[in-house]
Amino acid sequence: MTDIEIDTRGETCPVPLVECRKALKKASEGDEVTILGTHPASKKEIPMACKALGLEIIGVEEKDEEWKIKIRR
């Protein structure tokens, strides 16, 4: 199992979602992908897109303006 971290802080939509999808394509079954960001809309869009693909959202954390989403492939 591999952990992949993508930092999209400061980027606006659709960059965080696009980078998340790229990382998930490279990830193997069981790998965890963590997306760091600041764009409010992406914080909602990424979990919705992942659920639609049947992926597991491990957690969503927020601190001030930043958020972190953990996904298991």
- State how far the Cα of 24 lies from the Cα of 16, in Å rounded to an integer: 12
DSSP state of 14: T
Which helix (H) or strand (E) segment holds residue 24: the answer is helix 15-26
Catalytic pick among 13, 55, 57, 60 = 13
User: Among this protein's residues, is 50 annotated catalytic?
Assistant: no
- State how far the Cα of 13 lies from the Cα of 32, in Å rounded to an integer: 22
Catalytic residues: 13
